[in-house]
């Protein structure tokens, strides 16, 4: 562990939770790695992921550069640790003969050129993935690995092996002990770092174009395929992973509630003032009831909502809606392809970040969930994106049959649900939405 503010806070949190700080030092994102930080600093400290105005396609003046916005930015620090570990995985993958054999010269100079061209794209894609907003992203060092989450248990009867953090098994008199001078009667709790196996899946894409198109693109428009194609492939792969992230959570929710948008068929006949009052009930009744279920089971309050663009106007009618997204707090999603992927569109008060997903599975539903940004919150989650190989382009090669250039990209990752992880998420199904 290092001496950054996050490291000190992590040590304090670890001691408070009964976790051996040595465990944190053995995890890729549970420790500060100065060697990786210095190695990839030119990438992580210069990438522009904050301040992107998706309506104007510009970067706001004065927006911070880099993944970490300041020593207070624990979320940015954890995000950077993930990126550093995955850049190391990418570099190991590039250095292997299996990746370069027969298509690219494996020399230090060649790999340095490739790293200089591709790694900024990879850094931007990894730092900007919506998964950082919704779940935990944990790098693994091989195709089969483990991801981690934190659970608390009682050790003594009558509550032995019961979860401490569940309202249904919480024992309010467990530690009550009026016996003087007898350590043997003191009841114990144990904090376990549980692990789940992660078996990565493979994503592959192949781009093809003609030499004539490549020549025209350069000579007429001044654009190089060497810049465009890897960026496009990287963005597409990352956007597919973002989409699967939303779908995976959608299919693994612990609570489902229903809200009647028609108020029993009377909504259309209401006066405008009464319609506004009923629209507010989406927040005061449906959303807050779903949040209460998550709080009851997991002792955390959900802090994000994902919705379909056709459902977004219902959230925008809530009085606490704030569509003025702080550009310095909003990650640029998927770069040039961001509009077809999930992206932050606003907030409801100080409680929920609202994310609009054009491909959300149900246009009549709202998905709520929790993702913490504090120390050790990377282990206090329901869903984990375990990533082995980040979206990584291949060298350009020539198809001998078609006499056309080709370039591919691939990634290896998977999603894993933690033990009782579904209870970090809730789904609100809205009925009679045409009323």
Please give the average per-residue pLDDT across 65-76, as a whole number.
Answer: 80
Burial of 316 (0-12, 13-18, 19+ CB in 10 A): middle
Instruction: For residue 197, count other CB atoms closer than 10 A to its CB.
Output: 11
Query: Closest Cα partner for 365 from 241, 243, 264, 256?
Result: 256
Highest mean predicted confidence (pLDDT) among 23-37, 51-65, 154-168, 301-315: 301-315
The whole-angstrom separation of Cα 126 and Cα 84 is: 10
Contact partners, residue 332, CB within 8 Å, separation at least 6: 48, 49, 50, 51, 52, 54, 124, 128, 338
Q: Which of 58-62, 83-87, 295-299 has the lowest mean pLDDT?
A: 58-62
Q: Which of 130-134, 179-183, 271-275 has the lowest mean pLDDT?
A: 179-183
Q: Report the Cα–Cα distance between both ends of the chain, in Å, rounded.
A: 57
pLDDT grade, residue 408 (50/70/90)? confident
Residue bearing the bigger pLDDT, 364 or 176:
364
Per-residue pLDDT of 352-401, as tens digits, reads 999 988 889 999 999 999 988 765 666 678 888 888 888 888 778 888 88
Give the pairing type, strands 425-431 and 255-260: parallel
Q: Which of 83-97, 178-192, 310-324 has the lowest mean pLDDT?
A: 178-192
- When the pLDDT of each residue in the chain is averaged and rounded to a whole number, the result is 78
Per-residue pLDDT of 211-254, as tens digits, reads 888 888 889 888 888 778 888 888 888 888 888 999 999 999 99
pLDDT, residue 184, reads 66
Residue bearing the bigger pLDDT, 7 or 406:
406
pLDDT grade, residue 57 (50/70/90)? low
- Per DSSP, the three-state class of 347 is strand
pLDDT, residue 312, reads 92
pLDDT, residue 105, reads 44
Domain map (residue ranges) of the chain: 146-193, 255-374+421-431
Indicate if the pLDDT at residue 339 is higher than 50. yes
pLDDT, residue 38, reads 85
pLDDT grade, residue 409 (50/70/90)? confident
Q: Which of 58-67, 107-116, 285-294 has the lowest mean pLDDT?
A: 107-116
pLDDT, residue 20, reads 47
pLDDT, residue 25, reads 47
pLDDT, residue 21, reads 45
Name the superfamily (CATH) of residues 255-374+421-431.
capsid protein of prophage domain (3.30.1930.10)
pLDDT grade, residue 8 (50/70/90)? very low
Residue bearing the bigger pLDDT, 38 or 1:
38
Token representation of residue 346: 């606003």
Q: What percent of the chain has pLDDT over 70?
A: 79
pLDDT, residue 112, reads 60
Indicate if the pLDDT at residue 256 is higher than 50. yes
Indicate if the pLDDT at residue 107 is higher than 50. no
DSSP structure string for 131-200: HHHHSEEEE-SSSEEEEEEEEEEE-STTSTT-BTT-TTT--TTTT----TT-GGG---EEEEEEEEEEE-
Indicate if the pLDDT at residue 96 is higher than 80. no
């Amino acid at each position: 562990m290092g001496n950054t503010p996050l490291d000190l806070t992590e040590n304090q949190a670890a001691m408070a939770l009964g976790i051996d700080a040595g465990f944190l030092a053995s995890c890729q994102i549970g420790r500060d790695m100065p060697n990786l930080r210095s190695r990839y600093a030119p990438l992580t400290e210069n990438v522009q992921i904050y301040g992107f105005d998706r309506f104007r396609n510009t970067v706001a003046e004065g927006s911070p550069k880099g993944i970490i916005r300041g020593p207070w930015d624990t979320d940015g620090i954890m995000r950077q640790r993930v990126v550093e570990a995955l850049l190391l995985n990418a570099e190991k993958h590039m250095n292997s003969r299996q990746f370069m054999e027969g298509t690219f010269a494996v020399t230090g100079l060649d790999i340095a050129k490739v790293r200089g061209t591709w790694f900024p794209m990879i850094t931007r894609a990894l730092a900007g993935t919506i998964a950082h907003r919704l779940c935990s992203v944990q790098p693994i060092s091989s195709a089969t690995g483990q991801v981690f989450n934190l659970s608390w248990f009682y050790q003594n009867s009558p509550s032995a092996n019961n979860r401490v953090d569940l309202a249904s098994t919480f024992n309010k008199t467990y530690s009550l002990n009026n016996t003087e001078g007898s350590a043997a009667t003191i009841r114990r709790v144990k904090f376990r770092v549980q692990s789940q196996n992660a078996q990565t899946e493979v994503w592959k894409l192949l781009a093809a174009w003609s030499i004539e198109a490549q020549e025209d693109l350069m000579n007429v428009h001044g654009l190089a395929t060497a810049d465009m194609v890897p960026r496009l492939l990287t963005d597409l792969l990352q956007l597919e992973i973002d989409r699967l992230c939303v779908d995976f959570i959608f299919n693994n929710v612990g609570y489902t509630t229903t809200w009647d948008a028609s108020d029993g068929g009377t909504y259309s006949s209401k006066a405008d003032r009464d319609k506004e009052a009923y629209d507010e009930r989406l927040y005061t009744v449906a959303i807050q009831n779903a949040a209460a279920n998550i709080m009851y089971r997991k002792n955390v309050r959900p802090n994000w909502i994902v919705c379909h663009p056709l459902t977004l106007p219902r959230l925008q009618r809530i009085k606490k809606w704030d569509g003025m997204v702080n550009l310095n707090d909003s990650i640029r999603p998927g770069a040039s392809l961001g509009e077809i992927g999930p992206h932050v569109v606003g907030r409801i008060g100080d409680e929920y970040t609202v994310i609009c997903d054009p491909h959300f599975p149900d246009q009549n539903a709202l998905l709520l969930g929790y993702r913490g940004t504090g120390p050790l919150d990377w282990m206090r989650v329901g869903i984990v994106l375990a990533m082995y190989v980040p979206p990584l382009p291949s060298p350009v090669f020539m198809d001998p049959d078609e006499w056309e250039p080709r370039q591919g990209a691939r990634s290896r990752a998977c999603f894993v649900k933690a033990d009782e992880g579904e209870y970090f998420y809730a789904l609100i199904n809205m009925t009679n939405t045409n009323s």
